[in-house]
Chains A and B, each alone.
Chain A
Amino acid sequence: MAATNRGTFFSGAGLVWKWQRLVWWVFAVCLIFGFFSTQEMTERAASLLNHSMAAQRLVNGFDVGAITELLQLPDSPLAIQGHNIVHFSMLFVVFMLFATGGILAAYVLDEKPTTTAFFEAAGHHFWRFFRLLIYLAIVLLPIAGLAAASNAIHTHIDEQSISPYSADHFGEAAVVAILMLLILVRLWFDMAQVIAVADDEKKMHRALRRALTLLRRNFFSLLWLYLRVSIIAWVLFGIGLHVWMYHVNPQSNVAAFLLSQLMILIWIGTRLWQRASEALWYRDHQANQAPEPAWSPSPAPMYVPVAAEPQA
């Protein structure tokens, strides 16, 4: 199992690299949304800053005073950011809900994701994944309750304990526990999505049940498969932030932009790496369950990959 896991771990990376156009597409959409969400701010800021000597304070470093002064101006160019960013972020969530079907289909079938096949798969699974999202919201409710209870206990310990560290330690432990729960829930739903795509499962409650069984029986291997990619993602993100804050020349906008986008690209890449690894794991798992290959496309696929486009 360890060897299989290790193989799946690297194969997943290989699959992401192989069909890297998926990563680029998701990144492109994310970047476009990011630009749109900041367009109005940019125009307002430009009218104020492009011809102002005071803008030099922002060019030469991260001047907190300048930022707060900009925020406090009566017609602050920064004031409208929050709404736009949230709106476009929600739009991106809808996009990912749609695109996940196509992405998983590409990983499950391990065939070149043509545009038609991608959109057919995406559309085919969209409503299923929307229903899964509702299930997810229901599952998250008790976790939210647990978080609230942890917070109340943390407050109680903080009020009673002479040392400030008692509550801190409890809080840290609670955060870790809740984080682990969220990871497990995400992993569970990831596998449900893989099952829905791989087996063309129409009923999401069945997909969830099967995914839960899979998770129960292969708990550590699946968890480790998911977790190590997460660790890699967070470590790389932290390194990127550190480099940005401490090593990038404050005057170099190009370097800052490229680094920030590289961080986003890596983040997207690692998330797709998780999806690919899960898809491969499931495919191998199904293959190992019966003497004859167990995995095959659904008997009457709703979508048929068209002939592969010639490689560029």
Chain B
Amino acid sequence: MPTLLRLEWRHVRRDLAFWLATLLLVAALIYGLANGLAWTRFQASTIRQAETLAAERLAAARTDAAKFDQAPPANLSPNLDPRDTRGFEFNYLRRFAVLPQAPAAALAVGQSDLLPSLHRVTYRPRDSFLHNYEIENPLRLMLGRFDATFVALYLLPLAVIVIAHGLLARERAGGTLALLQAQPLSLTRWLAARFFLRGGILLGVFAVATWAGWLGLGGAPSALGAVTVWLALVLAYGAFWFALAWFVASHSTSASGSALSLAATWLFLVILFPAGLNLALTQLYPPPSRAAFQDELREGTDDASRRGSQLLAQYLEDHPELAPAGKPGNENDFFRVRFAVNAEVERLAAPLRAAFTAQLGRQQTAIEHLRWLSPTLVLHHESLVLAGTDRARHQRWLAAIGDLHTRTVDFFAPRLLRSANFRDYDQVPALDFREPPPQRIAFLAALAALLIPASALLLLSGRRVGL
């Protein structure tokens, strides 16, 4: 085998198409890593801005409260007074719930450019703060990002196709295959040397370029573990495509036929199957209408506003501990009525929002099951999970925001309804978002889902090699 590899190396050195494909792939990978890292830096800077703003406003609340205590200003609106719950909440509290970046976020931008990663959570109905999108060119959202995962999913297989489609057919067409068979040499071993050498170089260069690019372009060294896990999956994916190329080459009589078959398989696995599956799932589990959602919410808000005083009375009946001390009536207080109306709107909106979450959950579950049918979807899913830019993580974060909203309402309710002086600056609830433990089994299953078909294809190919 070493002799074979040495002989094959002489061919590889002169194979212009091989080196061109490898070079273009590495260039694309570096560009993809640079793009991903630029995006994560932009996100990190936005998070810092949010944190700075929150800290500055909190410090201002303390400073202003001390100043107003010493010299109370004349005609200060309660909405601007940090010593009043309303003033603190309205004018000073700028608390953002942030979706933390995973260490390897730059590998796959995923859904992170489409779905918001910070919300200013208030005690108002959730729909007043949940529709906060990042500014982004819609064309860019539609096309998707040129990140490292795009390079691995789309371009790596095409590089394999360019390199490997004619490795057997050209010898067959040139008549040299018969000469080779006349030699005391197993054809399978010869072909294995051809594929393994090229595959080893291409994937090895890809791996080195990933590590070097990550560190060279400013990726966090602490994320190298996650990058390596991603790389293991990508290499398994590359191995699958090499195995497929070998399988097709062993069944094809011409290099053109081999290239066409591989291109058609790529087209199916990388473009048509994911897009078709998405179309099928949106038909099977269509999300409810957002226009109807808005219409119902608006109607419900109007109805709640009309019944404001009645709702406040009912609310205080349910929560007698929140009734203003010594002021049993007070239903005409605009601010308190608004609070009761908000609670009613939130009660009405919850099932409407749940309908969206449920349909999304059904689509997500179907993908969880069906992704095993396509190596592309397996790698895509795992890449997003490793990068922390997948939909499931975002949904968990939204659930944590829901919990924070509930705690925020509970925190402000007694303070707002009883008009207590506000000094609890350090007790405002914060987001409690916890990452689940790393899914080692899922990673191993994904690796197996890529390597098992690759091995099966190799086994099947080995029996077919010949004239």
Please indicate whether A and B come from the same complex rather than being unrelated chains: no
| B residues lining the A interface (CB < 8 Å) | none
